[in-house]
Structure 1
């Protein structure tokens, strides 16, 4: 396991840190504590962190424009005003099913937003992966237990996602203009050993950076599924990475203390903190969400 220069961006111990993304226009990173209903905002240049109380569980966001974000929450998709934090329901999502909540999500280069849902107790097969495409919510893949690792190739022709319960990372051919599948998913790799596949992001060279829950690391894979590197994270339950910084050369990694007792927390002092890793690679700017044609 390789160690790289690492700093703590936010020392707060998130119950379930997830969903990091970065806005290069403002040099601002955003991420969530799903379980506590919190949204974090951090200036990468200054290190200043702000904490926003959402009043509901949420797991991801996409930038709409300079004034608005689309928040993926437990009962739907909300437009959030960046200026005052006001939320307005845009589309309900499994709002009639109190047993589920949102999880891993990411914006395709076309502006289509892929969104994962799962059971609140990780019930087998209760979740799904959806696409918000030009204002309509379409279910892509049903019967998913823990959707994770949603990310895309730079040309938009390939999508990736995992079911952490299976420890399988899938690859699927996409229409690059719509972000919708052109075929059925195929197995890219099966993770064996310590930990499980969690959130992921694709870098500028097409490599897949996957946080390993329970493994205290980020694994780097080629587009063909070859394991290239393993980079240490100072928290065992690393949950999701995102490239940040004006040159997109640093890796932000969230983590969690979910299901850890006091002894486990004491043995893992970085539990739930949010880190910046100097990984010697560059990412790609996240696309904006397109709400309609």
Structure 2
């Protein structure tokens, strides 16, 4: 069946990223990375709320009903949902002004995988980290643009990509800790003019990837077979997230970064956030254990 794609939020982010849905508030959170904005939209309401964080930020995870963990260019911050107050919990590359945070996802056990990268996508300037119960470890170095961090439903497989290389990698994972086991192997290789951006894995193990530069979502089986392609109305979709209290729809962020005036006129919806009204067997994000 074809997917009906609707505008969920018409706030046009320069670099929309990091969508995640919180069922406690029935709210979708996402970021405009380069402008330091946290955006939130309660489902069923028209308004999109924006909060200036004062630094580049790219992802959030729920700690509990009152607190979020916000990933920024200086590290992991605990934010009070009600007051908006933020406090640094764990510094990450805080003294390196040339890097920022990027993609992230919570493992089913509550561990957080997240990536850093150069602010101008400098080759090999980024890393992928693991954070769990106050412990921080570097997993992979020499990453240019970390993306596509996602996990199988049982937590035994992790995925990640270096967008600049054009491959999604697959690695066995300890289900109890979220730590990788063994060497990563190629899961999928980029074909066409686009790139692998953010991903999320549904309850059947299907990986849904935003194809930056190609204006579509691509769905891959656990074996790496492309089984579905969903056209989107923008050329630079950046990341999908499951949406709704049954996690049965997809939200997708997008960007207009590096567009000239002509490109912005040709693509007026660029940077908006979309609802892909296609039934999926999604999964709600686990809480992060700090």
Question: TM-score, normalised to structure 1's length?
Answer: 0.97
CA distance in 2, matches of 1:194, 1:91: 38
- The match for 1:117 is 116
- The match for 2:276 is 277
Deviation at 1:282, TM superposition (A): 2.1
Matches within 5 A, 1:1-293: 3-291=2-290
CA distance in 2, matches of 1:54, 1:217: 30
CA distance in 2, matches of 1:44, 1:263: 33
Deviation at 1:42, TM superposition (A): 0.6
Q: Secondary structure at the match of 2:168?
A: strand
CA distance in 2, matches of 1:188, 1:163: 12
Contact 1:44-1:244 at 8 Å conserved across structures: no
Question: TM-score, normalised to structure 2's length?
Answer: 0.98
CA distance in 1, matches of 2:281, 2:38: 25
Q: Secondary structure at the match of 1:184?
A: strand
CA distance in 2, matches of 1:69, 1:249: 23
Structure 1, unmatched stretches of 5+, are none
Contact 2:210-2:239 at 8 Å conserved across structures: yes
Q: Deviations over 1:85-122 (max 9, x none)?
A: 10100011011211110000010001100010000010
CA distance in 1, matches of 2:275, 2:157: 27
Contact 1:128-1:144 at 8 Å conserved across structures: yes
Deviation at 1:3, TM superposition (A): 4.7
CA distance in 2, matches of 1:112, 1:265: 38
CA distance in 1, matches of 2:179, 2:262: 45
Deviation at 1:45, TM superposition (A): 2.5
CA distance in 2, matches of 1:26, 1:144: 35
Q: How many residues align?
A: 290
Deviation at 1:52, TM superposition (A): 1.0
Q: Secondary structure at the match of 2:102?
A: strand
Q: Secondary structure at the match of 2:257?
A: coil
Q: Deviations over 1:158-206 (max 9, x none)?
A: 0000110011000000000000011111111111112100000001111
Structure 2, unmatched stretches of 5+, are none
Q: Deviations over 1:264-285 (max 9, x none)?
A: 1111121100000112212101
CA distance in 2, matches of 1:47, 1:22: 16
Q: Deviations over 1:221-278 (max 9, x none)?
A: 0011000111011111000000101221111000001111111111112110000011
